[in-house]
Structure 1
Amino acid sequence: MKVEVIVGDHQSKVQLPERTLTMLEEAGAEAVGMILADEMASADAPLATLECVEVALVDDETSDRVHDQFMGIEGATDVITFEHGEIVIGVEVAQRQALEYGEPELRELLRYLIHGLLHLAGHEDEDAADRKVMETAQEKLVAALWKA
């Protein structure tokens, strides 16, 4: 089963070329295939049953609002994942983190997309042991999919 990944740019703070959205969609669909093929998803995870994952690229203001409304946490964040197949990615957060870590912004956006997909695959990052497992899977996928 192939899962479609649709990326929409819902912000105007960071200019993103159309090819960025296309690359994220293609890499996201490939990542889903790898996650499911490599059995990185738990049996009851939403990812295995979704036909489509919608990704919203948002600014800090929107990220903060969604973070507070749905998680009760104030402040913009990198990724918020909803079990029904929506991933909200903070573009300004990605821009700041990419600068801080010396990463290309697009690679940081790819990392956030993969992080959200792994949440849909049943991965958690609340405690240190789970976070380590998730980060290992995440960085393996980023390395495999980064083509720039």
Structure 2
Amino acid sequence: MPINFYNSNIEFRLREIKVIKKWIEKVILLHGYQVENLSIIFCSEEEIVRINSEFLKHNYPTDIITFSYSQEKSIEAELYIALSVVKCNSKIFNQTFKNELERVIIHGVLHLLGYNDKTRAQRKVMREAEDKYLKLLHENVTGI
């Protein structure tokens, strides 16, 4: 189950990588999926704007963009996370950077598992799932 973290033109060191990887794996397995290859790429705001513009046709930053190449129950994907946007959002939502980053990571993973956030009802379901799996992470930091 390879889950790898990369930096793209920024310097960042994710703490507790093993715990985060196990958490992601557990959430994916709970949904009946396997990880083939999941790359989580930390990038700049400029890079996420470029990706948004090229692939989604909008010219503004988002905290995450998810590219899924998955087939059936096998996850193969790339998650691009703009750390400066996450940091800004952490202040807006009165969260620590760490907590906001964890939420963004699980948000991207949930998209890979079929969750969507286009409608109000979908956003509610997505938020409840995020809360559920963040609780799993924080309750079981050493036991995942």
Aligning the two structures, in what range does the TM-score lie when normalised by the shorter sequence? 0.7 to 0.9
Shift of 1:142: 1.2
TM-score for both structures, normalised by structure 1: 0.79
Structure 1 counterpart of 2:12, one-letter code: L
| 1:71-86 correspondence to structure 2 within 5 Å | 71-84=56-69, 85-86=77-78
Where 1:8 maps in the other structure, the secondary structure is strand
Q: Structure 2: state its 5+ residue gaps.
A: 70-76
Deviations 1:63-102 (A, max 9, x none): 1001111111111101111111111111111101112222
Structure 1 counterpart of 2:122, one-letter code: D
Show the counterpart of 2:73.
none
Structure 2 counterpart of 1:120, one-letter code: L
Flag the 1:69–1:141 CA change in 2: closer, same or farther, 3 A: same
- Return 72-81 or 138-147, whichever deviates more: 138-147
Identity within the alignment, %: 24
Show the counterpart of 1:97.
89
Partner Cα distance (1:32, 1:52) in 2: 12
Show the counterpart of 1:62.
47
Structure 2 counterpart of 1:90, one-letter code: A
Pairwise CA RMSD: 2.1
* Contact 2:8-2:42 within 8 A present in 1 as well: yes
Shift of 1:20: 5.2
Count matched residues. 133
TM-score for both structures, normalised by structure 2: 0.81
* Contact 1:7-1:24 within 8 A present in 2 as well: no
* Contact 1:60-1:93 within 8 A present in 2 as well: yes
Structure with greater helix percent = 1
Q: Structure 1: state its 5+ residue gaps.
A: 38-47
Shift of 1:18: 4.7
Shift of 1:123: 0.8
